[in-house]
Amino acid sequence: MRSFPKRKGNLYNGSMTFENLLTAFYRDENRSLPWRNEPDFYHVFVSEVMLQQTQVKKVMPYYQRFLAAFPTVESLASASEEKVLKLWEGLGYYSRARNLLAAAQTIVVSRKGKLPGTEAELLSLPGIGIYTAHAILAIAFHKKAIAVDANLCRIFCRLTENTEADLAKQKESCEAFFRDRLKDSDPSVFNQALMDVGEQICLAHGVPHCEQCPLSSLCRAAVNKSYEKYPILRKNIAKKKENWTVAVLSYKDKIGIRKRPSSGLLASLYEFDSLPGILSEVDLRKALRKQGFSVKKLRPLGPDRQVFSHLNWNLVGYAVELTRNPASSSLIFVSPETLESSFSLPSAFLRYYRRRKQEV
């Protein structure tokens, strides 16, 4: 987290209005983020899609590489899905990348380059929901809109000591609360100031930095020291668990990969040979023989875990050197250079590839 300057008390108090407190805070403390340098539609669009369910720190290098490859919506629209997915490799939630490409193509082809400037137009694009639409409207087009996410709901619930547990009702009340307080300020500054407060100050875990918050003088939870009670959270539903064995097969210095189905989890990405269950070396050798593979050498790559929004994978990996490549195999064998430059591997498989590479 960014370290704020040491102060004797909070400077953001007194007779300042709610929005003026936020404006002053943003003027003094706003984060230096690459997409804030050019806050036009395309830059905000790409950054907000990347930031969905992903931390700012992780997004920044991806954003910069993505913009270097596709500096305009037109260049993105003409890109191949393979190249887009390769640049997205390791960022997760790959449907975002495919939707980003599809939205760019819709803008350039169907809309003939006309940018979507209304909520309805934005929501008609693939992968754009209410939050992203409102963020684009406010930040890129300076229109009065509030981008409501979990961070903003947390700020709202603490400001008001709101006890509503129903997420839909909580979001509705949250949007109305902040929209009512956005009167004369630039919606771009107003929303981005709240984003900075939610991500750096009004923290979900641990003690929030109330002494640095521009809104602490107006916050009931800060005054009453009740911040840990808010927001009221619903009980988490237990995630489904699956066990998989990942076999990184190699033959004559080439690596075996296959394309996953075009729909479902990790659609259209590439994977190594994956077998259900946590297999021992003996069991893996037997399973590979049934597939027609002849194993020359097998080396453990250790356990791992991949967490999805609705599912957890427990994994064990092996590096497997083959004596031959059966013609019936569904794998294609490519050089490490080609794999690294042209094929996108999800994080679960990419980590095993890197382990194998380090130990060769």
Residue 113 maps to a domain = no
Residue 20 maps to a domain = no
Taking the CA atoms of 4, 7, 10 and 14 in sequence, report the sign of the dihedral they define: negative
Locate 25 and state its tokens. Answer: 């805070």
Angle between helix 167-181 and 150-160 (nearest 10):
70
Counted domains in the chain: 1
Q: 46: Cβ–Cβ under 8 A, 6 or more apart, which residues? A: 35, 63, 66, 67, 100
Q: What is 179-200 written as a DSSP string?
A: HHH-SSS-HHHHHHHHHHHHHH
Residue 290 maps to a domain = yes
What pLDDT is attached to residue 2?
Answer: 46
What pLDDT is attached to residue 207?
Answer: 86
Catalytic residues: 48
pTM above 0.95, yes or no: no
What pLDDT is attached to residue 37?
Answer: 86
Residue 190 maps to a domain = no
Tens of each residue's pLDDT in the chain, 360 residues: 444 443 434 555 556 889 999 999 999 999 999 999 888 999 999 999 999 989 999 999 999 999 999 999 999 999 999 999 999 999 988 999 999 999 999 999 999 999 999 999 999 999 999 999 999 999 999 999 999 999 999 999 999 999 998 899 999 999 999 999 999 999 999 999 999 999 999 998 878 999 999 999 999 999 999 999 999 877 767 889 999 999 999 999 999 999 999 888 998 899 999 999 999 999 999 999 999 999 999 999 999 999 988 899 999 999 999 998 776 678 999 999 999 999 999 999 999 999 998 876
CATH of the domain at 324: 3.90.79.10
Residue 282 maps to a domain = yes
Give Dmax (Cα) for the chain. Answer: 78
Q: Where does 28-68 show beta strands of DSSP type E? A: none
The C-alpha angle with vertex 59 and arms to 58 and 64, in degrees rounded to 5, equals 125
Residue 19 maps to a domain = no
Residue 244 maps to a domain = yes
Residue 12 maps to a domain = no
Parent domain of 278 = 240-359
Taking the CA atoms of 309, 315, 321 and 324 in sequence, report the sign of the dihedral they define: negative
Query: Cβ distance 42 to 113 under 8 Å?
Result: no
Residues 331-353: b if buried by 16+ CB within 10 A, e if exposed: bebbeeeebbeebbbbebbbbbb
